[in-house]
Amino acid sequence: MNITEELLRLFREQQAENNGAHRSLVFWYDSQSERRDFSEIEAVLKQEQIKVHHLDRDSSFRTKVLLEIEDTDHSYLLYAPYAKPEDEDNFLLDILLYSGKYGEFQADEIAIRMKELRLEHLPIRKFLEDHAKFFENKQRVAKFQKLLPNKPTIDQVKQTTLAVLCNARTIHPQDILKSVLSSGNLSDSNEELGKIEKYIDKELFFTYVGEYFGIAKNGGNRLAHIIETIVFQHYAAHIIDEKVISVSYESTVPNICKVFVEEWLKSEERMSLEHILDQLEQKWNVEHDVEQHTYQAFLRCDTFAVVEQKILEVLHELLLNETFVVTEWRSILSETQ
């Protein structure tokens, strides 16, 4: 259901109530007119041979002449871009009353929107009220409907809103984070975070993603802290001795972080992650860590390109110098696969 469909329903119901009368009159007092694009509604009504008469506070007499003398054949939507006046101040009250119980459209847009999106839980209404601007855009609403799970909870509604704003494929925190990081910008001024902040609180993003990856809130650049923690868990999981790493980050679910990086590196979206890894490789001075320790500690690590490069250089030199046997070479290769 949407506003236009509800208006058309009132016209049909009024004619049915009046035994198929040749016309109907519906009033709409719209106190939120400044936020509404009325042109589309008007175009649909025109297709149904329903005229729109725009009211103002001084046009009552002119309206009566139009409806009761000049044109008694056509159906009209009587649109007033202001709140409904008190009965004693409403000079069109007689027309409103004889239009019957289907003669006035009251736009509880939140209720209409909830029906349209098949949202039933009352706690969701408050979220829609607080973020009405988000739902004013057709493209956003269409994607919201596409991503929204069946019988969603309030949390899933919030997550779907996040996914739409950052153009994620699903409402899963992994996809939302990848979309926010698609530009490689690790600062809290990230463009995708800006879109989220425009319509909802970006704290929602940090809480949702942070909880999934087991990362506690920090006082600095939160986006950078999240992705650095995730990458660190992948790095540390593939190092034989973590003492050789010069940085440290905490996660309560390190395996989820590790698997996330592994799957991202295998995906078509890996270029954005590779760009991030290049940044962190420089920030953490990973090359220095590799230089300071024996290559064996890094044999299983494929997080950073410099690690793989250094290992290949060392192994190539050892092979040329014939300093270890082929069986050991094969064993090392199997470790690095």
Residue burial 176-194, b: 16+ Cβ < 10 Å; e: rest: bbbbbbbeebbebebebbe
Tokens 């290559």 belong to 295
- Say if 38 falls within a structural domain: yes
- Say if 76 falls within a structural domain: yes
Q: What is the pLDDT of residue 327?
A: 56
Q: What is the pLDDT of residue 323?
A: 58
Helix (H, G, I), strand (E, B) or coil at 119: coil
User: How confident is residue 6, by pLDDT bands cut at 50, 70 and 90?
Assistant: confident
Tokens 């010069």 belong to 246
Those residues whose C-beta lies under 8 Å from the C-beta of residue 145, and which sit 6 or more positions away, are: 117
Edge-to-edge order in the sheet of strand 25-29: 50-54, 75-80, 25-29, 104-105
Q: What is the pLDDT of residue 324?
A: 56
In this predicted structure, the answer to whether residue 235 has a pLDDT above a threshold of 80 is: yes
In this predicted structure, the answer to whether residue 225 has a pLDDT above a threshold of 80 is: yes
For residue 283, count other CB atoms closer than 10 A to its CB: 12
- Say if 329 falls within a structural domain: no
Point out the least confidently predicted range of 144-148, 202-206, 217-221.
Answer: 217-221
Q: Cα separation of 218 and 7, whole Å?
A: 51
- Say if 32 falls within a structural domain: yes
- The residue range of the domain holding 30 is 3-107
- Say if 14 falls within a structural domain: yes
Q: What is the pLDDT of residue 328?
A: 55
* pTM exceeds 0.85: no
Q: What is the pLDDT of residue 329?
A: 54
- Say if 31 falls within a structural domain: yes
User: How confident is residue 67, by pLDDT bands cut at 50, 70 and 90?
Assistant: very high
pLDDT over 70, % of the chain? 93
Mean pLDDT, rounded, for 279-306: 86
- Domain count for the chain: 1
| CA quadruple 87, 92, 94, 100: dihedral, nearest 10 | -90
253 φ, ψ (degrees, to nearest 5): -135, 65
Sign of CA dihedral 264, 265, 268, 271: positive
- Say if 43 falls within a structural domain: yes
- Say if 142 falls within a structural domain: no
Q: Cα separation of 160 and 167, whole Å?
A: 10
